[in-house]
Amino acid sequence: MLTWDANLYLQFANERTQPSLDLVARIAVSHPQRIIDLGCGPGNSTQILRRHWSKADIIGLDNSPEMIAAASKAYPEGKWVLADVATWTADARFDIVFSNATLHWVPNHAALFPHLLEQVAPHGVLAVQMPVHFQSPVHQLMYEIADDPAWRQKMHRAKNALVNEKPSFYYDVLQPKVSRIDIWETEYNHIMDSPDSIVQWISGTGLRPFLEALELEEQKLQFQEMLRAGVTRAYPRQKDGRILFPFRRLFIVAYR
Ligand SMILES: C[S@@+](CC[C@H](N)C(=O)[O-])C[C@H]1O[C@@H](n2cnc3c(N)ncnc32)[C@H](O)[C@@H]1O
């Protein structure tokens, strides 16, 4: 299982939390009583839910002990559960099953999404956001660098670590089982200070499987250095010296 670093992840807390706010704004469920945040990470997305539905019983679930420890430290009043989304089943159904920036790490969406919908109470909602920026220069660079003969043999798992399905796939999987479904994409333009900031951003998430595939510290540094050089070429500076980092995300809100 991948290890996570809550501090590194939270270096871009505002940018990473904005999609949760945008997703919450589109959920039309009045007075939900039970809410679960799947892949709650350090608790940032769960806190958005708590602010929005302050009377609801809200649980944050994650399979990373590091992330659950960070969430319980930051929000000791919260309810935190260490569990794997891939095998999770609710003991009682939830009015909102919410997941921000997590399910792309969990395989087999043809089975996972219907299963998650079954954990939603009647008239409740499954609300999901996942990054879909696989065509972005930084992702393409990671795949290209992973093909370097120095480590190509070790990269199969890393290259397939993230699920990448189209909106039409989710529509077909969910539509027969729901009363309404909204699907949309948003491309955020994050404003970064330097190419290093982009590498740091991706080091907190998508780069992790590639680095974990390498045993030697020296190779990890070499991979990061090659990525930094590629990012410097691929993302031009604006007139004020900063860099726009376009980041595309897919949103799904499915009502039972
Ligand atoms: C990118 S973070 C998202 C954190 C938070 N939801 C947010 O909005 O910023 C992804 C989280 O998903 C968790 N995760 C990945 N695979 C998981 C799984 N199979 N079961 C539970 N959590 C998982 C990771 O541990 C990590 O905390």
* CATH number of the domain encompassing residue 91: 3.40.50.150
Ligand 1 within 6 A of CB of 104? no
User: What's residue 202's pLDDT?
Assistant: 93
Ligand 1 within 6 A of CB of 129? no
**What are 231-239's contacts with CB under 8 Å, separation 24+?**
231/137, 231/138, 231/141, 231/195, 231/198, 231/199, 232/195, 234/137, 234/138, 234/141, 235/137, 235/138, 235/192, 235/195, 235/198
Q: Where are the beta strands (DSSP E) in the chain?
A: 34-38, 57-62, 79-82, 94-100, 120-131, 180-192, 243-255
Take atom 1 of ligand 1 and give the residue whose Cα is closest: 101
Q: How far is the CA of 102 from the centre of ligand 1 (A)?
A: 4
The residue segments making up the domain with residue 123 are: 6-255
**Short-list 166, 189, 163, CA closest to 15:** 189
C-alpha of 247 from chain center? 12
User: What's residue 13's pLDDT?
Assistant: 81
Sign of the four-CA dihedral 112, 118, 120, 123: positive
In a domain, 1, yes or no: no
User: What's residue 48's pLDDT?
Assistant: 96
Cα dihedral: 205, 103, 180, 16 (round 10)? -20
In a domain, 108, yes or no: yes
- Using the atom order of ligand 1, give the atom closest to the CA of residue 16: 9
pLDDT at 1 over 70: no
Number of domains, the chain:
1
Tokens at residue 105, please?
């790490």
User: What's residue 148's pLDDT?
Assistant: 95
- Cα-based angle 227, 13, 1 (whole degrees, multiple of 5): 60
| Residue located via tokens 């792309």 | 104
In tens, the pLDDT along 194-236 reads 999 999 999 888 999 999 999 999 999 999 999 999 999 999 9
Q: Is 184 helix (H, G, I), strand (E, B) or coil?
A: strand
pLDDT at 241 over 90: yes
DSSP strand pairing (57-62 vs 79-82): parallel
pLDDT at 8 over 80: no
At 220, give phi and psi (nearest 5°). Answer: -60, -45
- Kindly state the DSSP code that residue 41 receives in the 8-state scheme: T
Take atom 14 of ligand 1 and give the residue whose Cα is closest: 39
Ligand 1 within 6 A of CB of 16? yes
How many C-beta atoms surround the C-beta of residue 130 within 10 A? 23
In tens, the pLDDT along 119-151 reads 999 999 999 999 998 899 999 999 999 999 999
Ligand 1 within 6 A of CB of 105? yes
Q: How far is the CA of 54 from the centre of ligand 1 (A)?
A: 23
Ligand 1 within 6 A of CB of 4? yes
Sign of the four-CA dihedral 139, 227, 12, 162: positive
Distance CA 194, CA 5 (A): 21
Ligand 1 within 6 A of CB of 106? yes
User: What's residue 204's pLDDT?
Assistant: 83
